[in-house]
Amino acid sequence: MTTQVSDDLLRACDGRVEPAGDGDAVLGTRPRWVASPGSTEQAAALVQIAARDGLAVTARGSRTKLRWGGRPERLDLVVDTSRLDALVEHAAGDLVYIAGAGRSLAQVQEDVGGAGQRLGIDPPTGGSLGGAVATAASGPLRLHHGAVRDLVIGMTLVRADGVVAHSGGKVVKNVAGYDLAKLLTGSFGTLGLVTQVAVRLHPVPQGRRWVTASVADEAAAGTAALAVAHSQLVPSAVELEVPGSRRGAGGGDPTGALGALSVLVEGHPDGAAESARRVADLLAASGGEDVQVGEEPPSWWGGDVAADHDGCTLLRVTHVLTGVTPLLRALSEATSGAGVRAHLRGSPAVGVEHVALEGDTDAVAALVQRLRVASGGFDGQVVVLDGPDDVRDRVDLWGPVQALGLMRAVKDRFDPGRLLSPGRFVGGI
């Protein structure tokens, strides 16, 4: 049977199917095959075989977020999207771009940069277009351009039964099928295999300034972030860096500050310079110290906080706008004397922070629990995106989930045989 399946997969995929090796394991679960389709049709043919033979399938982009989410319950076939990387269309006049799911975000930005445009999806980890959409991973520009689901205007996907479906289109106002693209955004590959994505672009403003201030404590960080978010100055991004060991805004000098807040303002060159001056005044008046204006971002801007801490546990913590101070205090109380170091980096004006935790397993697991208990104070969720195996064994990655019944019903409808990344998503979906 295995030989027959293997032959069928090879035929479906133009011979681009390999037996899997240890390096192809997803969180320790090793598949039997890795297939690299070169077209949506080939991807569909692979999934049809998987549906026929009950093979569990997980998509793989550039692997930057492959460890995010739960361990696959089972895994037979990895569909590698690296050959699904074609630039299909860049309609610069319409600010629309369409490419294969495997195209790297860096390449996308290069494709559109020449026309003075950009894609507002800039997750710290980079990765592929499909991977960013599947994990709904955003970065600093989310404040200005919206979340991933706001930027995706259409997609082509392969359903669990191997049928190709199209949702949305390249017309930004097209509403037909729009919800399918939104539904798949952030579903961690559990509802369909995304092969092509259409996104909306934005012009890159000509003037840019970063205004960076030290924040002495949790109250100052919250006050400054809120003041900027509520101001008329329309920043493009507001980023917070709290390294967890007291350092200065640049991350080097031991000034004793809690961390740094940095604000990106963009626009016409003169306008950006003027906005930067006003942001600087606002920060100085609302808790910021040592305020500096620059034409380059601080070194930590938009970076992957987990990359700075080998083997750490990575959390995504969400909060309401007024929740910055309560969250930072909860983090500080939970880490105090717990033997855990927490390095927070994120976007306080959109309410999404990433926190890298370092410490022994019991202490990290206890800290996640304590933060969840405190999460009422910042009205958010604490999700474990990634972590060592022993931490994964000790904590519920997603925490309490509302509407799980509805989500399970959606999963049953889309993938009744539980073939697509089973177990990867919230509630074991």
Stretch that binds ligand FAD, among 30-38, 70-78, 186-194, 203-211 (CB under 6 A): 186-194
- The CA–CA distances, whole Å, from 17 to 43, 48, 94, 153, 343 equal 12, 15, 38, 31, 41
Q: Pick from 183, 219, 233, 284: which binds ligand FAD (CB under 6 A)? A: 183
Q: Is 248 in the site for ligand FAD (CB under 6 A)?
A: no
Secondary structure (H, E, C), 72-132 = CCCCCEEEECCCCCCEEEEEHHHCEEEEECCCEHHHHHHHHHCCCEECCCCCCCCCEHHHH
- Comparing CA positions, the residue from 324, 320, 318, 317 lying closest to residue 367 is 317
CB of 347 to ligand FAD, least distance (A): 11
**Nearer CB in complex with ligand FAD: 136/242:** 136
**Nearer CB in complex with ligand FAD: 177/271:** 177
Q: Is 347 in the site for ligand FAD (CB under 6 A)?
A: no
Residues 357-396 within binding reach of ligand FAD (CB under 6 A): 381, 383
Q: Are 385 and 368 in contact (CB under 8 A)?
A: no
What is the DSSP pairing of strand 259-267 with strand 352-358? unpaired
Q: Pick from 411, 418, 419, 424: which binds ligand FAD (CB under 6 A)? A: 411
CB of 365 to ligand FAD, least distance (A): 17
- Comparing CA positions, the residue from 31, 44, 37 lying closest to residue 78 is 31
Q: Is 147 in the site for ligand FAD (CB under 6 A)?
A: yes
Q: Pick from 186, 250, 251, 271: which binds ligand FAD (CB under 6 A)? A: 186
CB of 140 to ligand FAD, least distance (A): 14
Q: Is 62 in the site for ligand FAD (CB under 6 A)?
A: no
CA 325, 328, 332, 335 dihedral sign is positive
Q: Is 136 in the site for ligand FAD (CB under 6 A)?
A: yes
**Does an H or E element contain 353, and which?**
strand 352-358
Stretch that binds ligand FAD, among 247-255, 320-328, 369-377, 400-408 (CB under 6 A): 400-408
Q: Are 261 and 221 in contact (CB under 8 A)?
A: yes
CB of 425 to ligand FAD, least distance (A): 5
CB of 407 to ligand FAD, least distance (A): 4
Q: Pick from 46, 191, 215, 324: which binds ligand FAD (CB under 6 A)? A: 191
Residue labelled with tokens 């997803």: 26
Contacts of 88 (CB under 8 A, 6+ apart): 98, 99, 100, 196
- Comparing CA positions, the residue from 382, 410, 407 lying closest to residue 397 is 382
CB of 56 to ligand FAD, least distance (A): 16
What is the rounded distance in angstroms from the CA atom of residue 429 to the CA atom of residue 423?
A: 5
Query: Which residues are at the interface with ligand FAD (CB under 6 A)?
Result: 136, 147, 149, 183, 185-187, 190-191, 381, 383, 398-399, 401, 406-407, 410-411, 425-426, 429
